[in-house]
Amino acid sequence: MTTPNTALELRDVRKHYDTPGGSIDALAGMTLTAEQHKIHAFLGPNGAGKSTSLEMTVGLRTPDSGTVRTLGLDPRTDRKAISRRVAIQPQEAKVFEYLRVGELMELWSSFYDHPYPSVDVLESLELTKFIKRQVTKLSGGTLQRLNVALAMVSDPELLILDEPSAGLDPRARKKLWSVLGSWRDRGTTIVLSTHSMEEATALADSVFIVDRGRCVSSGTPEELISSFAGGPTVVFHLSGDLPRDAGAQLTSLGELTVNPDRSAALNTARTDEALALLSRTAGCHDLSVRQPTLGDAYLAATGTELTATTTPEGD
Ligand SMILES: Nc1ncnc2c1ncn2[C@@H]1O[C@H](COP(=O)(O)OP(=O)(O)OP(=O)(O)O)[C@@H](O)[C@H]1O
Ligand SMILES: [Mg+2]
């Protein structure tokens, strides 16, 4: 339900594409609500429908059916009003490549009545040293940061970033996270897409797990982990068979799994008791406690693993 605090709402949104290979259902009933003044992450694999959803919120794609509201506006009829209040960094942006970075930023900010100072945006994303460089001569990671900077310079109420950290090296990603965190703290709503559990866990106030054109689960990373990932696990190795009495005691503490390679896992909230028991049981070694992660929640919600792919790249 849309309230004054709703930044985005998608309700039962469907979208298909006709391709030479047949019809593709890119969105198959996408439903989600994103509140203002938070960072929201769309987390899902290639082809899940993230870009289709994000571009739809600013009118770059149209739904076959369902409802899309962006800051309470309909992107099909209010595109102009949305363009003044919302900025998007599309997944593949190619803009005015013959200009220099500084010229492009100045041109971009001239489109808006109240831009954010472009020198500050460039500085925060460590782009100042590239001001005189032509856009075509930037490395992939620097170009990606420039595309994020171009979206930020309009100082939007809602900033939509489609895989903003793709191609960034680990240090540049962390810098970007800190910049986005400070923009959220000054009131900007940020909606981004990512394949990275680490990014969603570190950055997002709320996560939409997107799979095959639907939002299959949503919540804070902590909520998703506690409702889906099933608590901590004590992992250990066995050098022989587990003594029967120890097996019975472990099973009374939680769910025990022993694999053919003799690695074992006990899913239990009573980790101290389990560790004490295992440490006095002959043949049990390499004990450790593994806390549940967003990756576990993702696996439980979708039935598949999502492996993050990043391309480390420096200047
Ligand atoms: N313009 C298009 N024409 C035909 N099919 C499309 C088009 N855009 C997207 N698709 C298809 O729709 C589905 C969803 O694509 P979308 O780009 O929204 O996914 P995504 O979650 O952003 O993926 P990625 O992580 O690879 O960016 C995919 O099967 C994709 O091949
Ligand atoms: Mg995409």
CATH number at residue 41: 3.40.50.300
Q: Rounded to the nearest whole angstrom, what is the distance from the C-alpha of residue 171 to the centroid of ligand 1?
A: 29
Ligand 1 pocket test, pick from 14, 50, 162, 191 with the greatest ligand atom count within 8 Å of Cβ, gives 50
User: Taking residues 238-267, what's their average pLDDT?
Assistant: 91
According to the model, what pLDDT value does residue 1 have? 61
Domain that holds residue 276: 231-291
Residues 16 and 156 in one domain: yes
Instruction: Give the pLDDT band of residue 229 (cuts 50, 70, 90).
Output: low
Q: Rounded to the nearest whole angstrom, what is the distance from the C-alpha of residue 46 to the centroid of ligand 1?
A: 8
Of 227, 250, 278, which residue sits at a domain end?
A: 227
User: Taking residues 269-282, what's their average pLDDT?
Assistant: 93
SS3 267: strand
User: Taking residues 176-195, what's their average pLDDT?
Assistant: 97
CA angle, residues 298, 299, 301, in degrees to nearest 5: 65
Task: Note whether residue 299 is domain-resident.
Answer: no
**Average pLDDT, whole number, for the chain?**
92
Residues 81 and 158 in one domain: yes
- Copy the structure tokens of residue 287: 């004990």
Ligand 1 neighbour 194 (Cβ under 6 A): no
- Residue 51: pLDDT above 70? yes
According to the model, what pLDDT value does residue 310 have? 35
Ligand 1 neighbour 17 (Cβ under 6 A): yes
- Copy the structure tokens of residue 55: 């571009």
- Report the relative pairing of strands 206-211 and 39-43 from DSSP bridges: parallel
According to the model, what pLDDT value does residue 92 have? 83
Q: Looking at the DSSP assignment, which residues form a beta bridge with residue 158?
A: 86, 189
% residues pLDDT > 90 (the chain)? 80
Q: Looking at the DSSP assignment, which residues form a beta bridge with residue 215?
A: 210
- Residue 296: pLDDT above 90? no
Q: Who wins on pLDDT, 192 or 197?
A: 192
Of all protein residues, whose CA lies closest to atom 12 belonging to ligand 1?
Answer: 26
Q: What is the pLDDT of residues 87-103, one digit of tens each?
A: 999 998 777 888 999 99
**10 phi/psi in degrees, rounded to 5:** -120, 130
Q: Who wins on pLDDT, 269 or 159?
A: 159
According to the model, what pLDDT value does residue 227 have? 79
Q: Rounded to the nearest whole angstrom, what is the distance from the C-alpha of residue 25 to the centroid of ligand 1?
A: 9
Instruction: Give the pLDDT band of residue 114 (cuts 50, 70, 90).
Output: very high
Whole-number CA gyration radius for the chain: 23
Sign of CA dihedral 293, 303, 44, 139: positive
Question: Which amino acid is present at 15?
Answer: K
Instruction: Give the pLDDT band of residue 305 (cuts 50, 70, 90).
Output: confident
According to the model, what pLDDT value does residue 244 have? 86
Q: Which ligand does the CA of 42 lie closest to? A: 1
Of all protein residues, whose CA lies closest to atom 1 belonging to ligand 1?
Answer: 17
Task: Note whether residue 306 is domain-resident.
Answer: no
Residues 197 and 239 in one domain: no
Q: Which atom of ligand 1 is the closest one to the Cα of 195?
A: 25
Ligand 1 pocket test, pick from 15, 16, 17, 309 with the greatest ligand atom count within 8 Å of Cβ, gives 17
User: Taking residues 31-44, what's their average pLDDT?
Assistant: 97
pTM for the predicted model, two decimal places: 0.88
Ligand 1 neighbour 292 (Cβ under 6 A): no
